[in-house]
Amino acid sequence: MSLTMRKGRRAEMMVPQSWLGRMRSRARKAGVRMTPMAGSARDLAVNRIEDARLWAAPKLDQAAQSVEEQIAPIVSAFLAELARRIDVSAARKTRRRWPIAALCTGAAIGAVGVMMYRNNAQRWSDNMREGVRDTRESMRDTAADAGKWVGDKAQETREKADKATDEIKGKMS
């Protein structure tokens, strides 16, 4: 609901139904006024589209002939050369020995490598066993030295404690 004020008139209240009816009638009047303009716009668009088609058709035909005469022979020659290069029957006749020689050489190098690896692995494991033995012996020696050192220090500490005890007893007596 809306209130509208007009000069010299009193306020009137508009009911939504009457407002909707007014808008409908205004839209119809505008449609009647716009119909001739829409028709002329449609006719103008049709003319412009026909003009564009008349202009584009010869250009497309010229482009098609240009592709056929200039680009197509180049692409065709490229594809023919590519087909000749990847032909399987020609490649088998000329290059049959190289892959076999490369395979045999690789297998021989691999066999030599395996033998060297096994030899070095055996030497390494023998060296590791000797190293473990040496480490155990040195740890035993170190443990024995540490035990002796601790015993010596304990003896020194005991002697110092006895000496200090004797001094304190001497001063007290």
Q: Specify the 3-state DSSP secondary structure of 4.
A: strand
Closest CA to 122 of 133, 110, 111, 130: 130
Quote the pLDDT of residue 94: 59
> What is the rounded CA–CA span in Å between residue 135 and residue 143?
12
Phi, psi of 87 (to 5 degrees): -65, 125
Quote the pLDDT of residue 1: 43
Whether 80 has a pLDDT exceeding 80, the answer reads: yes
Helices (H) and strands (E) in the chain, counts: 4, 2
> What is the rounded CA–CA span in Å between residue 125 and residue 105?
30
Task: Provide the 8-state DSSP code for 9.
Answer: S
Entry pTM: 0.31
User: Mean pLDDT over residues 49-68, rounded?
Assistant: 89
**Whether the Cβ atoms of residue 14 and residue 2 lie closer than 8 Å to each other:** yes
User: Mean pLDDT over residues 76-89, rounded?
Assistant: 85
Give the DSSP letter string of 12-35.
EEEPHHHHHHHHHHHHHHHHHHHH
Whether 76 has a pLDDT exceeding 70, the answer reads: yes
- Higher confidence at residue 11 or residue 39? 39
**Whether the Cβ atoms of residue 12 and residue 4 lie closer than 8 Å to each other:** yes
Whether 75 has a pLDDT exceeding 80, the answer reads: yes
Quote the pLDDT of residue 100: 83
**pLDDT bucket at 47, cuts 50 / 70 / 90:** very high
